[in-house]
Structure 1
Amino acid sequence: MNKLIGKKKITMENAFYLLKRIGFYKALKNIWNHNFEKSFLNKRFEQMISIEEKKGKEEKNEKLLIDLCECYLSLNNRFSSEILSICVPCLLKVGLKKDETDETQKEVEMTLLALSEIGYWEMKRGLYLNEIEAIIRYHHEHHNLSRLAYQSAWQFLIFRIYKDYSLEDVIVNELHFGREAARELKELRESVDWKRKEERGKEAKEVIVIWRWINAIDNYLTWCALWSEELVGFLGSIVQVFREVKDNHREVIYKCIYSLKNAAESRVIKVEELLKNEAVDVVLEEIHQPKLYDKMTYECLLFFLHISERLKEKEYFESDDKVRKTSKRVIFEKIEEEGYEDIISSFLETFDSLNIKLYPYLSLKISDYFVNV
């Protein structure tokens, strides 16, 4: 592509069209491209972005700059801080467009999707916060964004917490992440015919957006410690997604289990909420499956390891001792009824290999996976 552009065998307009489509599906399929940053095409884009940004207002080609920024962000996995400081404000300006024509909405969706690909990269609050807040708040009132565009706006913001924990209050209490994630998951889940083995077109896209919402929830649970009652809402939504997709969509099922494991580890979610929202039940259901593949087994075991650890640590328990003892009793009775002890015992010989193949976090002591009354 770089050679074609250099030799003028393809117009920039056609090159942008092709590259944006590649970036679009890279984002939807969650593909990482570690080599693009070293490519001549990437260097060409960085140079063109810098040159265009330095032009005066009269000379600057805004459309060209937007196209360059979208391609740069959507195709990359590593970014120049200097180029980010140009691309982020440029694309957020597009994201703020309120025109609801199909053409503008597609442009806004691609722009927000490209921004969501930045991941954990650090940037100054002044580059993004007012604009991304305005995009999300306007959608709350007018529902102007596509589901993918709205999720992408949230994903861009959630990733910023990694370097700025002070965003927690904005995300949870002002923009109501827990409420919005639960509502979107519910509406998306109800819009898909899960009994059909293969989704096409709009349905397939909505399944991907479900996966992306659960991934955003994972990121919040991994990094944040701010509690809000609204956050409990997405627990039940994840459980419902699991129940809908358990006959197919193994990657979505895995994402549900992975997210519930993060919830079991996080101090944000109380153990009694995991019980009340049936998180313990669905992980027990999954661990009984005869064809568990390694990473699913690993996450199920970690879920119970975290539950057991939290119920044993009286001084860190989030409720009074009476609630702790009640939770222990309920979980003990559930796992006893489901034959959990035999299942864990059957996995004992695989703990070492799972730790080597995945991550070394599984305890080799079988008693660590049990809750004793």
Structure 2
Amino acid sequence: MAKNATERFTELFSELEHSAESEQKQKMEELYGLMEEMGKEEFESIFTEELFNCIDKMIEEKKMHLENAVLLLTHIGYCMTLKRTFDCSFSFSSLSNRIEKMIIEENKKKDGKDEYQLVNLCECYLLNCALAPNEFPSICLPCFLKAASKKEEDDESQKEVEMALLSLSNIIYYRCDKELYLDEIKEIIEYHQEHHNLTRLAYQSAWQFLMNEFEYEECLEGVIVNELHFIKEASTEMEELSKCADWKREKKDERGKQIKEEFALIGWLGTLKCYFLNCKMWNEEFVGLIDGISRAFRAAKENNRDISYWCICSFEEAADQNAVKGDDLLKGGAVDFILEEIQQSTLNDEKTIYCLQFFDLIAKKLKGKKKEEMEKEERETSKRKVFDMLEEEGFEDAITSFYEVLNYLKGKRYRKLSLDIYDYLVNV
């Protein structure tokens, strides 16, 4: 009977401490392939605190060279990020303490600082760690930005840049000083816009980092929209990724590429959700942006429910913002797709909540319960269009079918979910 990926991984990993350094590297290449094969739950079952402690023990007993351990840890973090696995196992391990101390000690060196080693240590740490010490962003930011500024387009350089930017995007929950990053990240993004030197994943990661900081710095909106043309770039990238991604995964030899494309698309949707959450200014390109999300929804809805979920989240966040007009959501196709989605038999609890919340928000927007956003005549026209769509699609029947479980659904989220069916309908 053939062994599954977990069994093969466990067997190979147990052989590492008895292997010479060159043999270790060969076995590690096999381990990388097995990691990419694993599903999310299988992956989480393997990478426990116990496994990270075991790697630490091998380093301590000189059964694994530090360079090999860093390479292995970096690849674990890389796969963890692409599989959207968020676990604190590494953070609680003795290996985490070891890497933390090494980063601090390397950074303190006045002379002979090994910047390449510092970048590698920071990458393997931040790709695996749920929350780094407070001083780490100021240590890691300059390292990652310098590594990401490489202009060479050979495969090795592109991989280094991609890893640096992906690690950079993992610096979250911190307010970083703009002087530490703004000029450099702008230059990286603008250079790519002119020369297309970054991978899709690297480019999305650069934007994700900037968007993480936008949460704390309102003044970044002008830079993001007017100088770096975020809305246009996001729309273009999502359209291209929607076209090229093979959602059915029919080509096993390209599975790694497909996972990266899928992650990049979900990354853009997450970045958009963050943008909608913090944006304050209306933009005439919002319709194109909503249309871009609709295209992604159309490409993924049959074969990738995870991506369709992120599309719904983005629509709902857009509907909640005063900066986005009801007409933007209507013209961009958001209303059509949420109507279609809410009548699917496969809709789960969380998607149901987001769909109902979307209609609750757009109803308030079109009824004028939110900040005035359109002239009265324009708003009345939009309300009539939405109402006609709801009527044609039998939306009232769909809402009625959820009505008895609204109390249950309401308990699944902190945000208020109305129990009145008429709050979800738009009356002219």
TM-score by length of 1: 0.96
CA distance, structure 1, for counterparts of residue 417 and residue 386 of structure 2: 20
Residue ranges of structure 1 left out of the alignment (5+ in a row): none
Matching of residues 210-249 of structure 1 within 5 Å? 210-249=265-304
CA contact (8 A) 2:126 2:171 kept: yes
Matching of residues 113-262 of structure 1 within 5 Å? 113-194=166-247, 200-262=255-317
Find the residue that maps to 1:357 and give its secondary structure.
coil
Label 1:47 to 1:204 Cα distance change in 2 as closer, same or farther (>3 A): closer
CA contact (8 A) 1:197 1:248 kept: no
1:250 is matched by which residue type in structure 2? Answer: R
CA contact (8 A) 2:88 2:130 kept: yes
Deviates more, 1:114-123 or 1:102-111: 114-123
2:93 match: 39
Q: 1:357 aligns with which of 397, 412, 416?
A: 412
1:156 is matched by which residue type in structure 2? Answer: F
Find the residue that maps to 1:296 and give its secondary structure.
helix
Matching of residues 277-288 of structure 1 within 5 Å? 277-288=332-343
Label 1:30 to 1:193 Cα distance change in 2 as closer, same or farther (>3 A): closer
Q: 1:289 aligns with which of 332, 344, 351?
A: 344
CA distance, structure 2, for counterparts of residue 33 and residue 131 of structure 1: 30
**Does residue 1:3 correspond to 2:57, yes or no?**
yes
User: Which fold has the larger relative contact order, with Cα–Cα distance below 8 Å and residues 6 or more apart in sequence?
Assistant: 1
Q: How many equivalent residue pairs? A: 372
Label 1:157 to 1:315 Cα distance change in 2 as closer, same or farther (>3 A): closer
CA distance, structure 1, for counterparts of residue 416 and residue 405 of structure 2: 13
CA distance, structure 2, for counterparts of residue 360 and residue 183 of structure 1: 32
1:81 match: 134
2:419 is matched by which residue type in structure 1? Answer: L
CA contact (8 A) 1:311 1:317 kept: no
Kindly state the Cα deviation for residue 360 of structure 1 after the two structures are TM-superposed.
4.4
Label 1:204 to 1:47 Cα distance change in 2 as closer, same or farther (>3 A): closer
Label 1:260 to 1:315 Cα distance change in 2 as closer, same or farther (>3 A): closer
**Does residue 1:303 correspond to 2:358, yes or no?**
yes
CA contact (8 A) 2:322 2:370 kept: no
CA distance, structure 2, for counterparts of residue 131 and residue 236 of structure 1: 31
CA distance, structure 2, for counterparts of residue 195 and residue 30 of structure 1: 19
Find the residue that maps to 1:354 and give its secondary structure.
helix
1:69 is matched by which residue type in structure 2? Answer: C
CA distance, structure 1, for counterparts of residue 369 and residue 302 of structure 2: 39
Deviates more, 1:45-54 or 1:225-234: 225-234
Kindly state the Cα deviation for residue 229 of structure 1 after the two structures are TM-superposed.
2.1
2:56 is matched by which residue type in structure 1? Answer: N
Residue ranges of structure 2 left out of the alignment (5+ in a row): 1-54
Kindly state the Cα deviation for residue 38 of structure 1 after the two structures are TM-superposed.
3.0
Label 1:197 to 1:105 Cα distance change in 2 as closer, same or farther (>3 A): closer
TM-score by length of 2: 0.84
